Amino acid sequence: MKKSKLEALVAIRMKAIRLAETARKLEHELRKRRYHPDGLLPSSFKSWLKRVTERYEELRSWITHKFYEVSAQMPYVTLPDLVRVGDAFGILEDVVTGCKVAEKSMEIMIKPSIEPKLVDKLGSLREELEKLESEGLDVMVVKNLKEAIMEAEHGHRLASAMIASRIICNLIDRLEGEKDEDKVDYLVRVGGNS
């Protein structure tokens, strides 16, 4: 596969993931406020919903031109002039569903084959991560490690390493000390006590 096509597929996949996250966040904010489903959507939420639906339709339109068979599986979303809260939930669900279709379809198109030995290692890592998650491992660490494993499963070693490095950088930032030397001194002190 050409590099430019691969980059486009990865970009569309990431756009779908981010858009689904935005739609879920909007849904979460609406649910927190406990608006009545038959009530009209407040204007601040309506403008947010409008941006989400516009971004979704841009994504769907691009996919329609390049991969019609994928877009045929993505719900068509329109925003009426008067939006009720209950309608907003339905629209957001359609956006999330369409984004999942786009994400999974792009994954299939960009997924190179990886050696079986690596598949087994990644499966073991995923199982171990699930155990640590049930024991209360930090949510952001879990999220980043799952994403790193998924990228490795797709043969995207650089992406996997960059995502895993987020965790390392975050842990380093949490260490005592302003400068790197202070952080190293702290680790030496703590390590000497064990």
pLDDT, tens digit only, all 194 positions of the chain: 555 677 778 888 889 999 999 999 989 988 888 878 788 888 888 889 899 999 999 989 988 888 888 878 888 888 888 888 888 999 999 999 999 999 888 887 876 656 778 877 888 888 898 899 999 988 888 999 988 988 887 778 888 899 999 888 888 888 888 888 888 888 888 887 65
In this structure, the answer to whether residues 101 and 124 fall within a common structural domain is no
Q: Which domain holds residue 98?
A: 3-110
Residue 139 and residue 78 in one domain = no
| pLDDT of 194 | 58
Residues 125 and 106 in one domain: no
pLDDT of residue 110: 74
Q: What is the pLDDT of residue 112?
A: 60
pTM summary value: 0.57
Q: Determine the longest span between alpha carbons in the chain, in angstroms.
A: 66
Same domain, 105 and 10: yes
- Token code pair at residue 83: 């939006």
Same structural domain, 101 and 122 = no
Q: Do 139 and 89 fall into the same domain?
A: no
97 and 146, same domain (yes or no)? no
Could you say which of 92, 110, 128 is where a domain stops? 110
Tell me, yes or no, whether 98 and 162 share the same domain: no
Identity of residue 66: K
CA distance 122 to 119: 5
In terms of C-beta density within 10 A (0-12 exposed, 13-18 middle, 19 or more buried), how is residue 148 classed? Answer: buried
Chain centroid to Cα 189, Å, comes to 38
Domain boundary among 95, 110, 125: 110
Q: What's the total number of domains in the chain? A: 2
Answer yes or no: do 94 and 121 share one domain.
no
pLDDT in tens, 125-167: 888 988 999 999 888 889 999 889 888 877 788 888 999 998 8
Surface-to-core class of residue 158, CB atoms within 10 Å of its CB (0-12 exposed, 13-18 middle, 19+ buried):
exposed
104 shares its domain with 147: no
One domain, residues 13 and 92? yes
Q: Are residues 146 and 100 in the same domain?
A: no
